[in-house]
Amino acid sequence: MRTAIAARNIKFHDLKVKFGLQAVEDDLFFIEWLNDLPELTASEQQMLDRVKRNYLYLLDYPVMESIVKMVVLSPLLDLAGFYQPPFRIDGEVNIRVSAEDEGEVIQGSIDVLVIQEGLWVAVIEAKNSEFSLTKAIPQALAYMLASPNRDRPLFGMVLNGSEFLFIKLMFRDGAKYGLSDVFSLLNRGNDLYSVLQILKRFGIWMTIT
């Protein structure tokens, strides 16, 4: 009899033991967040400056996940072009992934799934402002492991409103993942510029490969 594990409760150890997931530290494994990033227009930068101001103003009180999605994530997806062809957005997508020979199933609901011609482009997991990204990463990886498309890389992003981190997962020679640096709205300047550039890079990569 299979037992069900909620994805929100999954830990890195579980993914390593049950799915053989391996971390890759080599920068060459995950270059998509580093190289060939598109330039942003002045109007895009102005919009991102407004998003940052809005969010930092709201931080006077705890910012719930629904507000993070509305104030921060939705403008980013719009500016990245993910609300337009050839992309499609799904929300609250239920997933199940089985561990081999373990009799266990991980199940949960992806916050946002970006799809391009039936291929998962990005799995995006949003949390509230008081939630640590370290807890969101295993959950996002569990969802990414459920992807039916394993012949091309899969990208993910986790955010809590203030911080953003990108994930790359590949299934070649086993499941391997790499992480980007953490981008933060608490830094000087506006790290949303880099976040949008990386999202646009993912979109471009997926439409030409």
Q: Give pLDDT tens digits for 58-100.
A: 988 888 888 888 999 999 999 999 999 999 888 776 766 666 5
Structural domains of the chain ordered from first start = 3-208 (3.90.1570.30)
Q: Would you say 158 and 179 are in contact if contact means Cβ atoms under 8 Å apart?
A: no
Q: pLDDT at position 29, please?
A: 95
Q: pLDDT at position 1, please?
A: 47
Q: Would you say 143 and 7 are in contact if contact means Cβ atoms under 8 Å apart?
A: yes
Residue 10's alpha-carbon distances to 5, 96, 104, 188, in angstroms, are 7, 13, 12, 33
Strand ranges inside the chain, DSSP E: 3-6, 22-23, 87-98, 104-116, 119-126, 154-159, 163-170, 176-179, 183-184
Average pLDDT, the chain: 86
Q: Which residues contact 201 (CB under 8 A, 6 or more apart)?
A: 32, 33, 36, 37, 38
